[in-house]
């Protein structure tokens, strides 16, 4: 009796080793009818597991190349080197490929650790041992097709991190925001909001800053001067509102949006700093070592960089 119970328990664990239950529905989503979609197309992605030792090695490399005291400082991995290190094993790829082919699924592409699959619902249903049904949200007038609980074979489960495309739900549709005037954010507003005070920048070669610009962006001296005239008080015209040195690409004086905002606000919140800004422009997006050499040659004490709207 005891032996029979252990045997049944072992079989149950083996069968359910790769069982993935459908998440509970919320936020107005409800189950609809079970569907027999058969030949209608479906896409999904099998994401393979990362090797834990490789992940630890990459973290160690990242810390070393970012540490100025390390002899590996600045020796960043190239995209191809990183791709080679994180590539899944041939065994893992073979396991997933064999599983797909055994279910007559031949349309799939391997991209790094992702296996992107295009098939139909009938084959996907048999592959995952699942059923597809409609899911609807009356509030947002949305209807999608989603899989129920699905199962992965034990060997596939062992090499799979996640399967995308079976259980996801879309975000609610975004409403068009009513047009409004832009936010009134000036250097004075920033000074008040962040309670900046008690510091008077001193004009000195030891008190300088650099503003780095990428993505083919350039600033305009005239725009910078106009910004200071409009928003800044107690500054020295021709000194505090002037870029004293350009390092990198030749300045083109085009006054583009990101570059203008970057340098105007970075300089505007600290007027009076000697050698106010060193402008390093777009060429460094592809050459981090060249960028660092230019920054160090400029002897700046503060470096401010902006990426996708975030100050670093």
The answer to whether residue 302 is domain-embedded is yes
Residue 103 has a pLDDT of 96
The answer to whether residue 56 is domain-embedded is no
- Residue span of the structural domain in which 242 resides: 187-311
The answer to whether residue 29 is domain-embedded is yes
Mind listing the pLDDT tens digit for each residue in 48-75? 999 999 999 999 999 999 888 999 988 9
- Within this chain, do residues 197 and 242 fall inside the same structural domain, yes or no? yes
The answer to whether residue 115 is domain-embedded is yes
The answer to whether residue 233 is domain-embedded is yes
Last residue of a domain, one of 164, 179, 214: 164
The answer to whether the beta carbons of residues 124 and 165 sit under 8 Å apart is no
> pLDDT band at 18, cuts 50/70/90?
confident
What's this model's pTM, rounded to 2 decimal places? Answer: 0.57
- Within this chain, do residues 29 and 159 fall inside the same structural domain, yes or no? yes
> pLDDT band at 209, cuts 50/70/90?
confident
- Within this chain, do residues 137 and 211 fall inside the same structural domain, yes or no? no
The answer to whether residue 145 is domain-embedded is yes
Q: Which two tokens stand for residue 158?
A: 């062992």
The answer to whether the beta carbons of residues 268 and 187 sit under 8 Å apart is yes
The answer to whether residue 180 is domain-embedded is no
Distances, alpha carbon 134 to alpha carbons 33, 36, 37, 126, in Å: 6, 10, 11, 18
Q: Which two tokens stand for residue 39?
A: 């030949």
**Helix (H) / strand (E) containing 134:** strand 132-137
At 209 the three-state DSSP class reads: strand
Our count of domains for the chain comes to 2
CB-side neighbour CA atoms (13 Å) of 138: 3
Mind listing the pLDDT tens digit for each residue in 263-298? 888 888 877 664 444 444 444 444 445 555 555 455
The answer to whether residue 13 is domain-embedded is no
- Within this chain, do residues 191 and 289 fall inside the same structural domain, yes or no? yes
- Within this chain, do residues 279 and 149 fall inside the same structural domain, yes or no? no
Please name the residues in contact with 256: beta carbons below 8 A apart, sequence gap of 6 or more: 217, 218, 219
Mind listing the pLDDT tens digit for each residue in 75-120? 989 888 998 999 999 999 999 999 999 999 999 999 989 999 999 9
């Amino acid at each position: 009796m005891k032996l029979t119970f252990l045997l049944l328990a072992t079989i149950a664990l083996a069968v359910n080793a790769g069982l993935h239950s459908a998440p509970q529905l919320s936020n107005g989503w409800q189950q609809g009818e079970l569907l027999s979609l058969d030949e209608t197309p479906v896409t999904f992605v099998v994401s393979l597991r990362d090797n834990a030792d490789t992940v630890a090695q990459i973290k160690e490399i990242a810390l070393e190349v970012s540490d100025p005291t390390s002899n590996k400082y600045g020796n960043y991995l190239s995209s191809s080197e990183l791709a080679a290190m994180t590539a899944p094993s041939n065994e893992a790829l073979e396991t997933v490929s064999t599983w797909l082919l055994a279910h007559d699924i031949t349309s799939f592409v391997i991209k790094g650790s992702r296996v992107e699959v295009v098939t139909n619902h009938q084959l996907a249903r048999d592959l995952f041992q699942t059923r597809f049904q409609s899911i609807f949200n009356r509030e947002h007038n949305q209807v999608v097709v989603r899989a129920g609980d699905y199962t992965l074979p034990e060997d596939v489960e062992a090499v799979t991190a996640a399967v995308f495309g079976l259980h996801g739900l879309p975000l609610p549709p975004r409403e068009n925001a009513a047009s409004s005037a832009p936010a009134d954010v000036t250097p004075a507003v920033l000074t008040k909001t962040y309670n900046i005070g008690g510091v008077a920048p001193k004009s000195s070669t030891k008190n300088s800053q650099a503003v780095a610009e990428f993505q083919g962006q350039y600033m305009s001296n005239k725009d910078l001067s106009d910004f200071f005239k409009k928003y800044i008080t107690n500054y020295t015209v021709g000194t505090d509102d002037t870029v004293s040195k350009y390092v990198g690409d030749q300045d083109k004086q085009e006054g583009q949006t990101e570059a203008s905002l970057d340098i105007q606000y970075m300089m505007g919140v600290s007027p009076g700093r000697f050698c106010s800004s060193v402008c390093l422009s777009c060429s460094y997006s592809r050459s981090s070592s060249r960028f660092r050499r230019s920054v160090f040659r400029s002897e700046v004490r503060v470096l401010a960089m902006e990426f996708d709207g975030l100050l670093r």
